[in-house]
Structure 1
Amino acid sequence: MEENNLFPVFFKVNRLQLLVVGGGNIGHEKVSAILSNCLDANITVVATWFLPELVTLAKTAPNVTLVQKPFSCGDMLGKDLAIAATNDKELNGFIWEKAKGSRVLINVADTPELCDFYLGSVVQKGNLKIAISTNGKSPTVAKRLKEVLQEAIPGSINEVLDKLQTIRDRLKGDFTEKVKQLNQITEVLVKRD
């Protein structure tokens, strides 16, 4: 049976340099997804033209730069992550090659075999953030699960997290002992009646 071997990671995109190539619907979608998670994300968007909605979005984000020109190899310099978001498969393949040559992690939109990472569906309630991946098989299923979880998780979860952080900060002992105590305290969250 096939397994999902992805390793979930949350990037601090306000500390990284991101490149998005493509200024149309796909580029707009990717930039929107990143900014919805971190308005301070450092994003450079390279494209020969930009969707008006992308231009408007870029004006609301402090660290988004639109560069109107064709993609070139130099665009990868100093970048940590890249997203090829054009509707030109040949150009996306070229961007992928340049990213790999520059040791930059890349996501090629709608081409799972050329992705080092995926942009999954995200559920967020306060400080709780859950990413959902179907290993590139069905973004629609991930979207539906997001809707279910968004509805199921109470809005008060942030208060719970704040209180648990206070408790965690007050606990004494080594790491193992702290984990044991936190497990006892949080058991009520999963206890069935």
Structure 2
Amino acid sequence: MAESKEKFPEVQGGGSLILAWQIKNKPVLVVGGGEVAAGRILNLLNADALVTVVCPAEGLNPEVRHRVAHKQVTHIDRKFEPSDLENLPSPDTSASPLGPPAMVLTAVDDPAASTQIWKLCKAARIPANIADVPPECDFYFGSVHRDGPLQIMVSTNGKGPRLAASIRKFIGQALPVGVGDAIERVGLLRAKLRELSPDIEDGPNRMRWMIRVSDRYSWNEMSDLTDEDMDNLLSYYKPKKVPDIDVLKAMRGGGMSAEDIDVFDGSFGFAI
């Protein structure tokens, strides 16, 4: 077979497959209650997971105690037992157990016990993360920048967590102010557009129009869009146009309608 003359990306081995793991309302087991466990628990709660912490009460640090006291997590006051991988209790004591955990995180100062938990997880085919032991991790926690719906993760694949934090801080400081607000407004606009044009076959048209909207307005203009602005903007969807931001502002309060304004949006270029 003749070799293709096309150029394709070179494979760079040694990386991780970075994914956004949807763990909402899924049971997760955390073994340990110290400082590292507290950080893991916060990450899980931010992702709306159902967290169970197995740790003797005297081993809980102040932050984890706070989570337990405010019923943000379910606490089992003892050391880990293999049966914990079979059925986790529901936060609602009157409800049925949650079943086996979707993932397990250990953060205890006992390497032998951690390795044993990892082996049990492997046998049960449950993804596990053993704190500070990269070879015994099915996944890593990176350093995350968070601004509302925006999440940016920096991973060094377990080689330099402190460096990952520095890089994450650098990226966060370089981002424009209001990025999270802009994304929230874009998400709301997309939801409104799906209501306006709900047919599945119209998906490509919706995507193309949203790309043009995202390219047309700055972050600040996006974050400043009012609900009225969005409704006025959506009136340009069927004509496949995207007005200038000043046009949307002129339409506020019913001052003008889309029919009153002849919008040139650069779609066809111009001639001199």
TM, length-normalised to structure 2: 0.60
Match of 2:212 in 1: 184
Partner of 2:37: 27
137-146 or 43-52, which deviates more:
43-52
User: Deviations along 1:91-136, whole A, 9 cap, x unmatched?
Assistant: 1110001112222111111111211111221111112122222222
SS at match of 1:184: helix
Question: After the TM superposition, which residues 30-45 of structure 1 pair with which residues of structure 2 at under 5 Å, given as runs?
Answer: 30-35=40-45, 37-38=46-47, 40-45=48-53
Structure 2 residue ranges without an equivalent (≥5): 1-11, 87-99, 220-272
Q: Within 1, Cα distance between the matches of 2:21 and 2:153? A: 9
Asked if the contact 1:6–1:135 (Cα under 8 Å) also holds between the matched residues in 2, the reply is no
The correspondence for 1:128, drawn from 132, 150, 156, is 150
Alignment pair present for 1:88 and 2:97 = no
What is the rounded CA distance, in whole Å, between the counterparts of 2:34 and 2:187 in structure 1? 42
Higher strand share: 1
Q: CA–CA distance in 1 between the matches of 2:19 and 2:211?
A: 22
Shift of 1:166: 4.3
- Structure 2 counterpart of 1:79: 101
Tell me whether 158-167 or 130-139 shows the greater mean CA deviation: 158-167
Q: Secondary structure at the match of 1:181?
A: helix
Return the TM-score normalized by structure 1: 0.82
Question: Is 1:170 aligned with 2:187?
Answer: no
Residue identity in the other structure for 1:10:
W
What aligned pairs does 1:154-165 form with structure 2 within 5 A after superposition? 154-165=176-187
Task: Tell whether the 8 Å contact from 2:143 to 2:164 is kept in structure 1 after alignment.
Answer: yes
Superposed CA RMSD:
2.5
Paired positions, count: 186
Q: 1:47 aligns with which of 55, 76, 92?
A: 55
Tell me the secondary structure at the aligned position of residue 105 of structure 2. Answer: strand
Following superposition, the deviation at residue 32 of structure 1 comes to 3.4
Q: Which structure's relative contact order is higher, taking Cα pairs within 8 Å and 6+ residues apart?
A: 1
Taking every aligned residue pair, what percent have the same amino acid on both sides? 27
Aligned-partner Cα distance in 2 for 1:21–1:165: 36
- Using the TM superposition, give the Cα deviation of residue 157 of structure 1 relative to its aligned residue in structure 2, in angstroms: 2.0
Rg (Cα) greater in structure: 2
